[in-house]
Amino acid sequence: MLPSHVSHNISKACGCLLLGIIAFLLHAFITNHDPYHCGELLTGGDWINSPNEWQPPKCMMRNYQPADLISCRLRRLTIIGDSTVRELFWATAHKLDKVGAEHAIHAVEKHSNVNFSRAGVDLNFIWDPFLNSSALHQSLAAHRSGGDNAASILVIGGGLWHAGNLGEKYLQYYGDSMDEIMPFMNPRWPEEMASPYTENFSTAPNKENLLILAPVQIPRYGDLKPERAASITKERVDPMNYYLRQLHLKQGAHVAWSWSHMVRQQPEAYKKDGLHVIGSVAGLQMDVIFNIRCNSQLSSIEHSYPRDNTCCNSYASPLWVQKFLLMVALGVLPLLTILAAKESHRLDLLPSRRVFYALMVVSLAACYCVFTDRTQIFYKLHKRYSPEEFMIMILVVVALGVLSIRRSVHPLIIRGQQATTRETDQPFLSRDQTDEWKGWMQFVILIYHYTGASRVLGIYKIIRILVASYLFMTGFGHAAFFYRRSDYSLRRSAAVLIRTNLLSSILPYAMHTDYAFYYFAPLTSSWYMIIYLTMRFGHGSNSSIRFLLAKVVVSAILVTGVVHVPGILEAIFQGLKVTARIHWNLTEWRFRMGLDLYIVYAGMLSAIAVIKMSESGNVMSQIQFARLRMLSIVAAFTTLGVVWVALKSITEKHEYNSWVPYISFLPILAFVLLRNCSRHLRNFHSSIFAWLGRYSLETFTLQYHIWLAGDTKGVLSLGLGRCWDFLLLTAIFLWVSWHVGNATSVITGWVVDPNEGRRHVDLGASRLDVNLPSHKNPAAQPLMWRYWLKMSAKMSVLREDLRIRLAIIVLFMWMLNLLY
């Protein structure tokens, strides 16, 4: 635990860093000539995984599927030029109908026009290697007129036939062809394409019709046939591209330079002839154009999340809920926080300044989520998996954990502001130990999400065990609490559920997602209710081990039926949809519940076993205990080895998921035994891991929007490079999570018991006669003051009855769902 003054200084530094970054990005956004990254799609990018994953500058590109192209209503797509751009035609045909495109390829002549139509999309390729045909001029004229005959996308490219067949005047002829095309180019389209599509296509045709020039294909010169290599040389290709570059800089020509970046120093991007690109590269080249032409339109149609196609796409205007949240976070709550600091201005009904500050922190965090993941101010990039990067991050985390190992201590007596402590033997799965366990697992899971390591089955297998470990601790902790304290009060359950769900209940309204999207909070809440009902039923007989085991078994059978028997969850979700307009993903929820269906019960049984053993009072001899400990250690290592070998033999994710519910408890119990097998291991913990463990719920939820991006599909970026982006944004992310975690605890305490979340104002005359009218003479009181006093007296029931407060919260959320 850091000293308070150090924590305060760190907090101020991170706050200043956050404000500085926001100011910098706002300035960059306002002054940026291409704030929606339409033009940048054409100018550059780099490979994530050549030749299959392309990263444009500063945004996330959509990989277009047949349904997307149909929804975009392209009408007609025309490609004019030589065989290099013909690859773009066939790549688009493959996107629409792979089998049909394969048949068509073998049915057409080599140098001829080709037509291919599917699902209302008409593809046309016009063979014009010298870019001087009448068909080209007709297409350009139609593009200018914007009528029904105009192509939604017109791509023109050539140059290699000029270099190979027109001798020394190749550049002059090529330049003449480009000069004839330029009058038809609209240099302002990137700005227009950034705005949402509000008009009907038929009333705004020029807005969506694109004219794109392809750069001259840079061959892989060493692979060219001798007859081609003699005339298609670097000395001829480069001047043509230089000419195009001048048209781009001086006249605003829209040239897809990113296509050249895709093949630069990428031998795997070419076919064997060294001239044409392979199908996957050509498909990505067309995806660049489709992202410019269709992204904003599809977003206006879909109205759904994840919002992971951020290139050339403007987010929807803020909804009234988001505007209200912004007003409350930036205006109302700061004002109330200031007023609450002055007792003379406070009403007895209102909470304390500490509560207002906590409400402001959570509201500002939600606004920051909107700011980062629902505007174009922060950049969003695709995830990149690198084994080396993943391992380096893990090793850094391990080093930090080892360096922060401390002895666990128990608070003994609090004297004033100082708390004396004592060193003592920690119990089985102590608080420090479970916080540490949550913390190091959270570090690994965060790295897993940031690097996109889910594509690696071996890492995925480990992460699934870690997630199951959280639920194991949920079962262990709550079952032990209910057994020992028999506290089944509404107050305790409300505290647990509000603390767990506060953040994940606010973000759906702020981010236009849904509660189930932040699946960990609803998952643990559901399991808490199952544990509560299981332990609550017949709790007077919980001292009977047979009765406890029978309850756990029956509960497991019932929950298995609810999850896996068709119709039960469907009825529940349909009821939520009808009564509260709640639209949750049933398939995803069934998957989440079924994936760790029995690990919570393993945690409950472990808690019962530990408690019963401690209650038995049997004292073993030192020799017996040493033998039992050695046997436990051997059994734990053997179990880990067997499970590792068994899991390694599973090569499919689907197969692994089917086994996880039945075997995840084995490595978890083995870890628990090893972690507690000696006094030394029990009594030491990593303070850094324990710190993060205390805020694991906040980091898990907030990572969706302020560390990752595109609703977890990408990562946020400041444009400073991957290393600096990671360091700065991680510091802010952890800082925000820390403050939100503390604020959530304060708000939870206030809701459960407002008398603990407010500072009472003494209504005695000795305190108030100085500032307020006499309470002995009601007539002497101002009318407004008398009104507030009456209202405060009537509303005091809110401080006394938790049921009414909870009912008001549920009613408020129900109304929001109906109006949202």
pLDDT, residue 511, reads 93
Exposure class string for 326-352: b at 16+ Cβ within 10 A, else e: bebbeeebbebbeebeeeeebeebbbb
For the ranges 40-44, 175-179, 459-463, 816-820, the lowest mean pLDDT is seen at 816-820
What is the distance between the alpha carbons of residues 164 and 270, in angstroms, rounded to a whole number? 19
Spatial contact of 176 and 119, defined as CB atoms under 8 Å apart: no
pLDDT, residue 302, reads 76
With CA atoms as reference, report the closest residue to 231 among 247, 241, 219, 248.
219
With CA atoms as reference, report the closest residue to 71 among 280, 379, 304.
304
With CA atoms as reference, report the closest residue to 115 among 128, 130, 106, 104.
104
pTM of the predicted protein model? 0.89
Cβ neighbours for 323, distance < 8 A, ≥ 6 positions apart: none
Q: How far is CA 227 from the centre of its chain?
A: 53
pLDDT in tens, 552-572: 999 999 999 999 999 999 999
pLDDT, residue 1, reads 52
Exposure class string for 594-624: b at 16+ Cβ within 10 A, else e: bbbbbbbbbbbbbbbebbeeeeeeeeeeeee
What is the distance between the alpha carbons of residues 142 and 42, in angstroms, rounded to a whole number? 24
Spatial contact of 722 and 485, defined as CB atoms under 8 Å apart: no
Partnered with residue 117 across adjacent β-strands are 122
What is the distance between the alpha carbons of residues 84 and 162, in angstroms, rounded to a whole number? 13
With CA atoms as reference, report the closest residue to 527 among 588, 593, 467.
593
Spatial contact of 89 and 114, defined as CB atoms under 8 Å apart: yes
DSSP at 65: -
Per-residue pLDDT at 28 exceeds 70: no
Domains in the chain: ranges and CATH: 38-302 (3.40.50.1110), 379-717 (no CATH), 781-820 (no CATH)
Residue range 273-280: mean pLDDT, rounded: 96
Spatial contact of 46 and 64, defined as CB atoms under 8 Å apart: no
What is the distance between the alpha carbons of residues 337 and 355, in angstroms, rounded to a whole number? 8
With CA atoms as reference, report the closest residue to 254 among 579, 459, 34.
34
pLDDT, residue 319, reads 82
The arrangement of strands across the sheet holding 708-709 comes to 379-382, 714-717, 708-709
pLDDT in tens, 407-430: 988 655 444 444 555 566 788 899
DSSP per residue over 118-134, as a string? ETTEEEEEEE-TTS--H
Spatial contact of 672 and 606, defined as CB atoms under 8 Å apart: yes
Strands 708-709 and 46-49: unpaired
Per-residue pLDDT at 396 exceeds 90: yes
Residue with token string 């390591």 = 453
Per-residue pLDDT at 283 exceeds 80: yes
ω into 778 cis (within 30 of 0): no
